[in-house]
Structure formats: C-alpha cells, structure tokens
Amino acid sequence: MIKHKRIAISTGGGDCQGLNAVIRAVVKTARYRYNWDVVGSLDGLAGLIDTTKMRKLNVSDVRGLLPKGGTILGTTNKGNPLHFPVEVNGKTEFVDLSDKIIKNFKELLLDVLIMVGGDGTQAIAYELYKKGIPVIGIAKTIDNDLMDTDMTFGFSTAVQVAVDAIDRLHTTAESHHRVMIVEVMGRYAGWIALHAGLGGGADIILVPEIPFDMDIIIEKILQRRNLGGRFSIIVVAEGAYPKGGERIVQKKANSEYDHELLGGVGHWLSREIEKRIDVETRVTVLGYVQRGGTPVAFDRILATRFGTYACELIEREAYGRLVVLRGEEIKSVELEKTMGKLKMVNPKGQFVRTCESINICLGRENKLLY
C-alpha cells in the first residue's frame, strides 16, 4: 500500500511553454497512479504565504492543458519569500517569510512541495529544503541555461518561434537589400541565439559568451555584398556585448535579489552598423513572443515526463532533488549541486565549430576557414 500524500505545486520565474503540461502530468500521475491529492500555489509561493491563494487541482482542472501556453497557477519573478518586500511606515523593508511558509505548509497538511522553475526558483527551493520542507524541483527555462540538464522544456518552442521570425525576415531583407537584426532572449547564455541562428540561416550570430568585434561584423556584411549577397541576417542574444564594452541594459539591478533588465543591443548594433557603412538596417526584438503560445511537441513530451518522474521521486521520498534530462533518460540531481551555476555556450565547443565551419560569423576571427 502506497502511503497517501498531499502535494503542493508552484510555478515560479518567467513563464514558458510547457508549464501547463507539467502541471497536468503531476495531477494526472498523482491521481491515477497513486491516488494522491494535489493543490496549486498561485503566483509562485503566494499560496504558502497567503493560504487563500491555494487551489485544489483535480483531473478535470487540467483537462485540455497540454497545448496551452503559460501557467494556470500564475507565476512571478519578484517577491522572493526569503527577501520579501513589505511596506513599513511608508518605506519598503525586506523580511524572511520562510517561517510563515513552513507554518502554512504544516497547517495545510502538505507532504511535499514541487517547485517548477529556473535557477532563481531552484535556489529558493533549496533554501526551503534546508529549512525542513520536502521539496522536488523541476527544471524549467526557455534560456536552457540550467546546469545538469541537457534540455529544459520551453527552450525548443522559443527557438522555433525565433526561427519562424527569421524565415519571414529573410524575404523582406532580400527584397529591400537590408541588414535585418533579430534580438532574442537568453539573458547571459547564447543558446537561443545559436540554435535559432543556425536553424534560421543567419549570417551573423552574436552571443554573450563571445564578445563581438564590430570591425569583423562590418567585414562580414561587406564580404557578402561583394559576393552578391545584397542582404544580411544578424541574430543577437540580448546579453551579447562588444569586445571591451559592457552589456546594454534597460534597468540595472537595485540589489542582489533584483535582476537587471537586459535589452537594447539590437538597436545599438543597428546604429553602429549605419555609422560605418551605407546600408539600411532594421531591428526586430522578439521579446516575450518567445515565451508565449502553444508548446511544440518536444516541450509537451518533456514536461509530461518531468511531471511524472517528480511523482516517482515523491513515492521514493527522494527529496531535495531536481528533475533533469540526461541523454534520453529523465533523472534527478541534488539541488545543492546546481546552485550558483549556469550552463553557458562553450566558445570552443562543437556547436560553435559547426556555425563557423559553414562560415557563420560569430563576431570574432574565424580560424576554421581555409
């Protein structure tokens, strides 16, 4: 006889395609396979801070969720419960609400908390685990920058959205003989830019891991023009920056718990190109379009496998672990081992060599060409 359990699930950080699929998988596996109860914490961990924001989840509640983007539970990338902003006498102070979360967790008769999210969410998950809450983490981010997992759900859909946009921009770029710049998400990791640029046939791909040289970019554009290519497609990651320069941000972080808001490198690049050569440039910033809409089949399947495996970990009471993809197998790693690390593009790695082998410019001297 499998012990009856009561599971809470939350989705934190940025939204992405596949979150609803993972919620669906947890609820259906818990009910059909184990006869467990599931409740959802709305807007990240808000439900464990204010218990009126907890919602019971039945199989009927997750019907039809597989192709739906976003998260029915809501999410937030603000309000870290370990450093939570509250108004005191007209001023904002930060308090640690972990004791309140633990108290509510016990009063709700919960047995385990599943936290779906990226590096920030999993850092909070680990802290709560250390304080005594049985936690299971599920890796999620469109940026694909979480350590110890080969892929996160949401990434494949974000890449496909970017590739579709690049395909469409090719025709207008060719018609008007322009340089088209596509700025994509990814924060400090260039995975979306690399995959989308390679899949979309970009001429230049700029990623945060390889500071770019403007002279080499200009040389590439002129080289294409001299060979009869009257347009160029540039894919630039939002965290990319020029050699010897700094990242372009819309808003700087106000504290260690805040995030700087990246963005603007596409327009900066456009101005720099037009200063140097006589060519029209246009910029498309895909932004949150990459996060929304229907998940592709890969993300639906991966999210479902993650959710089911999380329940298997609960059955074994293997807490304090993160559900990940290794090769073709779903596995888990200790949350502690993933803290403070991001999976970055290797500037000397196989993926980069593939791009440079087919003469895609990465903003640096290409030493692979004959």
Strands 84-88 and 91-95 turn out to be antiparallel
Task: Taking the CA atoms of 163, 167, 172 and 177 in sequence, report the sign of the dihedral they define.
Answer: positive
Which domains does the chain carry? 6-153+295-338 (3.40.50.450), 156-292+346-357 (3.40.50.460)
| Lowest-confidence segment of 41-50, 91-100, 111-120 by average pLDDT | 91-100
0.85 surpassed by pTM: yes
Q: Which of 15, 143, 145, 148 is catalytic?
A: 143
Choose the most confident range, by mean pLDDT, from 11-25, 81-95, 259-273.
11-25
What is the average pLDDT value for the chain, to the nearest integer? Answer: 93
Q: Are 28 and 59 in contact (CB under 8 A)?
A: yes
H or E element: which one contains 269?
A: helix 265-276
Q: What is the pLDDT of residues 22-74, one digit of tens each?
A: 999 999 999 999 999 999 999 999 999 999 999 999 999 999 999 999 999 99
Greater model confidence, 119 or 84: 119
Q: CA dist 148 to 164, 206, 327, 352, Å? A: 29, 25, 11, 20
Strands 54-57 and 84-88 turn out to be unpaired
Confidence at residue 229, expressed as pLDDT on a 0 to 100 scale = 85
Confidence at residue 253, expressed as pLDDT on a 0 to 100 scale = 62
143 is a catalytic site residue: yes
Confidence at residue 246, expressed as pLDDT on a 0 to 100 scale = 87
User: What DSSP state is assigned to residue 146?
Assistant: B
pLDDT confidence tier of residue 103, bands split at 50, 70 and 90: very high
What average pLDDT score do residues 357-364 get? Answer: 96
What average pLDDT score do residues 83-106 get? Answer: 88
Q: What is the pLDDT of residues 237-258, one digit of tens each?
A: 999 999 998 888 877 766 555 6
Q: CA dist 298 to 132, 157, 202, 303, 323, Å? A: 35, 8, 23, 9, 17
What does the DSSP assignment read for 172-199? HHHHHT-EEEEEE--TT--HHHHHHHHH
Task: Give the residue among 181, 245, 174, 237 at the shortest CA–CA distance from 209.
Answer: 237
Confidence at residue 248, expressed as pLDDT on a 0 to 100 scale = 83
Instruction: State the binding site for substrate.
Output: 141-143, 178, 185-187, 238, 282, 288-291
Q: What percent of the chain has pLDDT over 90?
A: 80
pLDDT confidence tier of residue 368, bands split at 50, 70 and 90: confident
Confidence at residue 285, expressed as pLDDT on a 0 to 100 scale = 96
Q: What percent of the chain has pLDDT over 70?
A: 97
Instruction: State the binding site.
Output: 14, 78-79, 118-121, 141-143, 178, 185-187, 238, 282, 288-291
